Structure 1
């Protein structure tokens, strides 16, 4: 794949054979972000787990101290008082059967996170094949299946991110925007890595954190020294 001039220029700033400290990596990610828009800074963490086994799944959620810099639209499946609570807490969309119909019939995806009260999961389960592949299915582990909808919405709006290991044993998570600056990005990075390390499955053997790479939306990857992730 042929890369543009900006990418080639950015590549010259990175030593491919070096492992950077988290702070050095954040500074480089900002330096190598040359697009005209405020690029997202994303983290990719390769784990020493086999995601084919249920007891080696790594999944959870954490509130980043400085948020993600993205406005998040929340859809809540709830009824009665819980629906009113969700509306008061700032959810963009609140409903029940009518929202299920809209998603099924119109292939509607104008939202970023889905929250549901536990009593609604029988209904929401019908959307498994639609929401599941997009990573939108509510899940108790990520705090999106709960009766405390106000707290769930507040956390999401404050910068809560979900992390989940994919089929290739990698977690991809945005940790902020270029405009945040290196210090805030490093804070978010440390918070996320602490959560991922705590989520290590008991069945995982050997080295757990295999590699850590940070990059901007359009920029090259920068390798972080895995031994220094929590320094």
Structure 2
């Protein structure tokens, strides 16, 4: 992959082999962000677990105190009064069976998070092949399968993010925007990493946080010293 001149210049501002304290890493990421748009700051955490085993899965959700800086569109699967409740709580879209062909046949995916009441999971299940690969399937662990749709929507709009392992046992999540202050990014990052440490499976052996890196969309990654989180 050919690196841009800005990327190469930014890389000279820090030691790639060093692991920085989170506050220093955040400051560096902000300093090295040079794109003309407001870049997203992401955390990438490689965990010492094997996600192929059910007892070593790491998945959940956490509300970032300062949000992600992104406007999130929420779709709610519900019926009856729960549809009205969802729309009143700020859902962008809400409905039931009539949404299935729109997603399945028309490829409609103009939403970022899907919430469902438990009695609608049979309907949502028919969309597994479409929503699953995109990480959009509602899940009780993430708080997106619930009768309390108003609270779920409120949390998501306030900055709730879902985290889960990919096939390489890495979690990739946004922790804000480059335009955030260092304090806001740091507080968001600390909230995230504390939640992931708390979610450590009992079956996990050895080093849990293998590596933690933060980076802006177009910038180089900065390693974080994880010793204080163990």
Asked whether the two chains share a fold, i.e. TM above 0.5, the reply is yes
* Alpha-carbon distance in structure 2 between the residues aligned to 1:228 and 1:66: 23
- Does the 8 Å CA contact 1:44/1:212 hold for their aligned counterparts? yes
The answer for unaligned runs of 5 or more in structure 2 is none
The answer for unaligned runs of 5 or more in structure 1 is none
Corresponding residue number in structure 1 for 2:167: 167
CA shift for structure 1 position 229: 4.5
- Does the 8 Å CA contact 2:197/2:229 hold for their aligned counterparts? no
Corresponding residue number in structure 2 for 1:191: 191
* Alpha-carbon distance in structure 2 between the residues aligned to 1:195 and 1:47: 13
Over 3 Å off, 4+ runs? none
* Alpha-carbon distance in structure 1 between the residues aligned to 2:7 and 2:229: 26
- Does the 8 Å CA contact 1:63/1:161 hold for their aligned counterparts? yes
* Alpha-carbon distance in structure 1 between the residues aligned to 2:177 and 2:19: 22
CA shift for structure 1 position 228: 3.1
Corresponding residue number in structure 2 for 1:14: 14
1:145 is paired with a residue whose SS is coil
Deviation string 1:95-150 (CA, Å, 9 cap, x unpaired) is 11111110011111100000000000001000011100000000000000000000
RMSD: 0.8
Deviation string 1:150-196 (CA, Å, 9 cap, x unpaired) is 00000000000000011101000000000102111000000000110
- Does the 8 Å CA contact 1:22/1:228 hold for their aligned counterparts? no
Q: TM-score, normalised by structure 2?
A: 0.99
- Residue pairs, 1:38-57, within 5 angstroms: 38-57=38-57
* Alpha-carbon distance in structure 2 between the residues aligned to 1:135 and 1:176: 20
Q: TM-score, normalised by structure 1?
A: 0.98
